[in-house]
C-alpha cells in the first residue's frame, strides 16, 4: 500500500457537555434511554482515548475496510463542464460499497469492548444495514436491522445481502414505512433490550453522543482527503460537496476542514420532485427548527408539528430530519445547503457512469450533480472535491424501474 491508513484522531470542540451544537442537538429522549446514552457516552470517551482500542480501529480501517480510499481526478467529467477540476473521494471503493462501514467498524468494536452481544440498526437504502450486518458477522454478534417496508421493496438486493450475512431484517410497517419509522422501531428495541444490546445508529442524527460519535468515526474521510489534497495537488480544494440525508458522509468530509475557512462547503439535499411542494427531503433548505429522534434540529413538519412524509428517489436521503451539527453549520454560515431533484440526480448517475466508468449510488449522484454545476461556474485552476459516498450497484433495480425497464 502506497500510504498508511490515516491514524484516527478525534477533534472535538463541539458539541458541549450536553451534546449541544449551539441551540441544536441535545438529548430529547425518554428517561428510559438516558442511562443507556450515558453508558454509551462514557464508553466512547474512554475508548477513543485508549491506544490499544484506537490501534485496532485503525488496523481494521486499513485491512478490513481498505482505507485509505483514493482521490480520483474525474478528467472526462471536468472536460465536459469546462470549469474547475472535479476530484472524487472514492468512498464507493470501501468494503460493502459506501462510507457507512467507517462508522459501523468503530461502533461494533465499541459494542464488543462494552460486552454487548447483540447489535441493532436502522437502515434506509440498506447500506448502513449491510455495513452493520457485515461487522456483526465478523465479530460473531447477533444482528437485527430495522427497515421501512417501502425501503425493503426498493432495496431488495441489500435486504438479501443482510440476510446472507446472518442478520434478521425486520420490515417496519408504521408511519411512512421509511427510514424515520425504522429509526423509531430501533429505538423501541433498544429501550426494551438495553442490557445486552448496542444500537449502531447509522448517521449523525439522534440523541447525544451519536451525532458526535458517528462524526468522529467518519471524519477519517475528511482527514485523508485533506492530506491527499496537499500531497497530490499541493493545496486544499476550493470547495467540498457531499450529499446530506442524516448527514454522516458530509460531516465526515467537512469536519476536518471546518477551520480551513477558504474551503467552501456545500451539503446537497434531496429536492425530490421540487422544493416548492412537499415531495422532497430537504430539511435544511426547506424545513424548520424542531425536535425529532432525540435532538433539536431542522426538520420537515406541518403547521401542527407532525412530521411529514418525505420523498426522494434515493432511499438513503429520504429522511425528514438532519444531524444537529449540519443545522449548526448552516446557521453559523460555515456551510451552505442546496437541493438537487430526482431528475438531476438520475442524470448525474448516468453521466458519471458513462463518462468515467463509475456508477454512483443515487445518494451520491446528488452530490455529483451539484459538483458538476459548481465546477461549471468555477475557474479551471480551482478544485471541487466531491464525496462519492457509495456505489450504485444497489440502485440498478430502482433506475431500471424509473426508466421503464424490467431486469
Question: Which positions are catalytic?
Answer: 100, 122, 389
Q: How far is CA 267 from the centre of its chain?
A: 12
> How are beta strands 336-341 and 264-272 bridged, if at all?
parallel
Of 11, 66, 166, 175, the residue at the interface with another protein (CB under 8 A) is 175
Output 34 or 55, the one with its CB closest to another protein.
34
Instruction: Quickly count: other Cβ atoms within 10 Å of residue 171's Cβ.
Output: 16
Residue 191 found at the interface with another protein (CB under 8 A): yes
Output 66 or 175, the one with its CB closest to another protein.
175
Q: What is the DSSP string of 337-374?
A: EEEEEHHHHHHHHHHHHHHHS--B-HHHHHHHHHHHHH
Rounded to 5°, the CA angle 332-315-350 comes to 95
C-alpha cell read off for 206: 439522534
Least Å distance, CB 381 to another protein, is: 47
Of 63, 138, 188, 354, the residue at the interface with another protein (CB under 8 A) is 188
Stretch that binds another protein, among 65-73, 120-128, 186-194, 345-353 (CB under 8 A): 186-194
Site string for another protein, 300-339 (x = CB under 8 A): -x-xxxxxx-------------------------------
- Cβ-proximal residues to 276 (8 Å cutoff; 6+ apart), any chain: none
Output 11 or 22, the one with its CB closest to another protein.
22
Alpha-carbon distances of 116 from 141, 193, 196, 207, rounded to whole Å: 8, 11, 5, 20
Least Å distance, CB 363 to another protein, is: 22
Task: Indicate the angle between helix axes 220-233 and 210-218, nearest 10 degrees.
Answer: 30
Contact call for residues 133 and 161 (beta carbons, < 8 A): yes
Residue 293 found at the interface with another protein (CB under 8 A): yes
Least Å distance, CB 218 to another protein, is: 24
Stretch that binds another protein, among 31-39, 88-96, 145-153, 163-171 (CB under 8 A): 31-39
Which chain residues interact with another protein by CB under 8 A? 18, 26-32, 34-36, 38, 174-175, 180-181, 184, 187-188, 191-195, 288-294, 299, 301, 303-308
Amino acid at each position: 500500500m502506497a500510504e498508511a491508513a490515516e491514524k484516527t484522531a478525534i477533534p472535538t470542540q463541539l458539541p458541549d457537555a450536553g451534546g449541544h451544537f449551539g441551540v441544536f442537538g441535545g438529548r430529547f429522549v425518554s428517561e428510559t434511554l438516558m442511562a443507556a446514552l450515558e453508558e454509551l457516552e462514557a464508553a466512547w470517551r474512554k475508548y477513543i482515548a485508549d491506544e490499544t482500542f484506537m490501534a485496532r480501529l485503525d488496523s481494521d480501517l486499513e485491512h478490513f475496510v481498505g482505507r485509505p480510499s483514493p482521490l480520483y481526478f474525474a478528467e472526462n467529467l471536468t472536460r465536459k463542464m469546462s470549469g474547475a477540476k472535479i476530484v472524487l473521494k472514492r468512498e464507493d471503493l470501501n468494503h460493502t460499497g459506501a462510507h457507512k462501514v467507517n462508522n459501523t467498524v468503530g461502533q461494533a468494536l465499541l459494542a464488543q469492548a462494552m460486552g454487548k452481544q447483540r447489535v441493532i440498526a436502522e437502515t434506509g437504502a440498506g447500506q448502513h444495514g449491510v455495513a452493520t450486518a457485515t461487522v456483526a458477522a465478523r465479530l460473531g454478534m447477533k444482528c437485527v436491522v430495522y427497515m421501512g417496508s417501502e425501503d425493503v421493496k426498493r432495496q431488495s438486493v441489500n435486504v438479501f445481502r443482510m440476510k446472507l450475512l446472518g442478520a434478521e431484517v425486520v420490515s417496519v410497517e408504521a408511519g411512512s414505512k421509511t427510514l424515520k419509522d425504522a429509526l423509531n422501531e430501533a429505538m423501541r428495541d433498544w429501550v426494551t433490550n438495553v442490557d445486552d444490546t448496542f444500537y449502531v445508529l447509522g448517521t449523525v442524527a439522534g440523541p447525544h453522543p451519536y451525532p458526535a460519535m458517528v462524526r468522529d468515526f467518519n471524519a477519517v474521510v475528511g482527514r485523508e482527503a485533506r492530506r491527499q489534497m496537499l500531497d497530490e495537488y499541493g493545496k486544499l480544494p476550493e470547495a467540498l460537496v457531499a450529499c446530506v440525508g442524516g448527514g454522516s458522509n458530509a460531516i465526515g468530509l467537512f469536519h476536518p476542514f471546518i477551520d480551513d475557512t477558504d474551503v467552501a462547503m456545500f451539503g446537497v439535499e434531496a429536492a425530490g420532485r421540487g422544493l416548492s411542494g412537499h415531495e422532497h427531503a430537504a430539511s435544511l433548505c426547506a424545513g424548520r427548527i424542531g425536535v425529532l429522534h432525540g435532538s433539536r434540529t431542522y426538520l420537515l413538519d406541518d403547521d401542527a408539528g407532525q412530521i411529514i412524509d418525505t420523498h426522494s428517489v434515493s432511499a438513503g436521503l429520504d429522511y425528514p430530519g438532519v444531524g444537529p451539527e449540519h443545522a449548526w453549520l448552516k446557521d453559523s454560515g460555515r456551510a451552505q445547503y442546496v437541493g438537487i431533484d430526482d431528475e438531476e440526480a438520475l442524470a448525474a448517475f448516468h453521466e458519471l457512469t458513462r463518462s468515467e466508468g463509475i456508477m454512483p449510488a443515487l445518494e451520491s449522484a446528488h452530490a455529483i450533480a451539484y459538483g458538476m454545476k459548481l465546477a461549471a461556474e468555477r475557474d479551471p485552476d480551482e478544485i471541487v472535491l466531491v464525496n462519492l459516498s457509495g456505489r450504485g450497484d444497489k440502485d440498478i433495480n430502482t433506475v431500471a424501474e424509473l426508466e421503464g425497464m424490467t431486469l
